[in-house]
Amino acid sequence: MLRKIVIIGSIIFLGAIGTGSFWLWQNYQNGRLPEKIITAAFPAIKNSATGINVFQSALGMGVPRTYLVLLLNNTELRPGGGFIGSYAIVRFDKGKSEVLKVEGTEILDNNYIGFVATPPPPLAKYLGLKNWQFRDSNWSPDFPTDAKKALEFYRAEHGVEAENISGVIAITPNIFEEILKLVGPITVDGIKFTSENFTETLEYEVEYGFEKRGVKFRDRKQLLGDVWGALWPRLASSFFTNWSDYKKLIPALLREKQVMLYSTVADEEAKILEQDWGGEMKSEAGDYLLWVDANLDSLKTDVAVTRSLSYSITPSSSSFVAKATMRYYHTGGFSWRTSRYRDYARVFVPAGSRLVGSSGNDGKVDQGEEGGRHWFGAFISINPGKQGELSFTYLLPKSIADGLEDGQYYLGVQKQLGTDRIRLTLELKFDKKLTGAIPPESSEKFGDNLYQVAADLSVDREFEIELTKSQ
């Protein structure tokens, strides 16, 4: 029987909002956490009674709260951050947490077959899915959408405490790796986990090594609970001595979208989105770019794939011709972990954009609308040791060109949930000279009509360009 360990929810959720579960557990008083504790670790809500009340409620200080925790594997990338290989159900009551269940998502999906949902066409075509289930629910690049879909499927499949879920938390293995950097290696069932080998070792043990350890197939992912059980004392004892490191780490993981939060309570969700912790697709006006990859039946190959995204625009008679290109470098081979990379890629662009052409894709280009954005999608496969390149060329809506009449151009580039650093290069050509930009170009490039910069997508990026105004 799985031990009910007071760990996952505390570290994931409390840690995710910038404070230590052990510290909070020691300091709650009469069902209310001291405000100085909250605001010290969570400065964004300082002097905000609403924020503090939301924080208190989320920890079950009034009514107990139950959360669905999605354990995403970003070495098998999906639009919502990674394949949902496992999940946990965590209950909070007056600041204390209890893990009610941890298991592989395949167990939930296989045990209940009465619910039928039509899968998105790429999942049907490239994975052969006839039914859309919980483990594949995060097909959207917008986490609030994914969280709602995961809850819908979890309830339909009669998951534990399904009708009492207060929110959804998603994490990638990055959080484990970063914590291990601070607390040092741990050993569980004779297996040594370090920050460098954590993800690969865990994948191997739950896919292959469990048999050698005499563990039944359905119990193989309980190793994750045992890992947390070993990690928890080390984390609790190191929290005070390494407080400055933890205080930096958790906000960074939220900014980098390795942790995403969703609440079914409207004012809590509004606060999450206000702090940019919810992994939502942005809706600001102006130019926009979000590239989204989905690993479809190619093992954990994303661990061996590096990416480089480039974006260019050039003036046309009515607006701008834009080109988004992703270059993939497959550095792996054929093994238990990596294979030929099979990827369904989508690029999300301003509504009203029109496709001009594409290259590098296997088959036709799909199109659709989601979250107020237009998208183009196509499939690409890349053999080990090879490079691949997928491009979409499209005409931006006239509204982008119209905005330049006032001498202003804005571009928002969002990173895909769960991805690590992806190189980003921009080459934006205008029919007017630049007078300023944030971030600026290097000085030798000043004074012309071309904006060229290189950055990375460790976080979302924004670019604001000032141009000479039309007379």
Could you read off the pLDDT of 236-260 as tens digits, one per residue?
778 777 878 888 888 899 999 999 9
Per-residue pLDDT tens over the stretch 136-167? 999 999 999 999 999 999 999 999 999 999 99
Long-range contacts of 155-158 (CB under 8 A, 24+ apart): 156/112, 156/115, 156/117, 157/108, 157/109, 157/111, 157/112, 157/115, 157/133, 158/112
pLDDT at 371 over 50: yes
Q: Is the pLDDT of residue 47 over 70?
A: no
Looking at domain 8-274, its CATH class is alpha beta
The encoded tokens of residue 445 equal: 């490039």
| Residue 350: per-residue pLDDT | 97
What average pLDDT does range 312-330 have in this prediction?
96
Q: Which of 107-111, 145-149, 246-250, 344-348 has the lowest mean pLDDT?
A: 246-250
Least confident among 125-134, 216-225, 376-385? 216-225
Q: Are 268 and 54 in contact (CB under 8 A)?
A: yes
- Looking at residue 27, its pLDDT comes to 42
Report the alpha-carbon distance of residue 116 to residue 136 in Å, rounded: 13
Residue 471 confidence class, pLDDT cut points 50, 70, 90 = low
Q: Cite the residue boundaries of each domain of the chain with CATH code 3.40.630.
A: 8-274
Q: What's the pLDDT score for residue 28?
A: 40
Section 432-455 average pLDDT? 92
Instruction: Give per-residue pLDDT as tens, 391-425.
Output: 999 999 999 988 888 889 999 999 999 999 999 99
Confirm if 104 and 42 have CB atoms less than 8 A apart.
no
CA distance 282 to 296: 26
According to the model, what pLDDT value does residue 351 have?
A: 97
Number of residues that make up the chain:
471
In angstroms, how far is the first alpha carbon of the chain from the final one?
Answer: 75
**For 39-43, 117-121, 170-174, 395-399, which range has the lowest pLDDT when averaged over its residues?**
39-43
Mean pLDDT for 120-136 is: 96
Could you tell me which residues come within 8 angstroms of residue 252 by beta carbon, excluding any fewer than 6 positions away?
none
Q: 9 with 67: CB under 8 angstroms?
A: yes
Q: In degrees to the nearest 10, what's the CA dihedral of 429, 432, 437, 439?
A: 10
Sequence ranges of the chain with CATH classification 2.60.40: 287-467
At residue 109, does pLDDT exceed 70? Answer: yes
Least confident piece of the model among 46-55, 339-348, 353-362 = 46-55
For residue 388, the cross-strand partners are 328
Residue whose C-alpha is closest to residue 305's, from 340, 275, 273: 340
In tens, the pLDDT along 256-273 reads 999 999 999 998 899 899
Predicted local confidence at residue 16, as pLDDT: 39
Give the residue with greater pLDDT, 441 vs 99: 441
Torsion of CA 230, 232, 235, 236, to 10 degrees: -130
Residue 148 φ/ψ region, left for φ over 0, alpha for ψ in the -120 to 50 degree band, beta for the rest: alpha
What lies within 8 Å, CB to CB, of 164 at 6+ separation is 66
Who has greater pLDDT, 50 or 26?
Answer: 50
Which is more confident, 82 or 94? 82
Share of the chain above pLDDT 90, in %: 67
- To the nearest whole number, what is the mean pLDDT of the chain? 87
> Cα(290)–Cα(349) distance, rounded to whole angstroms?
7
The confidence band for 219, taking pLDDT boundaries of 50, 70 and 90, is confident
For 289: left if phi > 0, alpha if psi spans -120 to 50, otherwise beta; the answer is: beta
Which range is most confident: 35-44, 212-221, 226-235, 362-371?
362-371
Alpha carbon distance 347, 340 (integer Å) = 22
User: Which tens digit of pLDDT belongs to each residue from 1-21?
Assistant: 333 333 343 334 344 333 333
Domain 287-467: assigned CATH number: 2.60.40
Q: What percent of the chain has pLDDT over 70?
A: 88
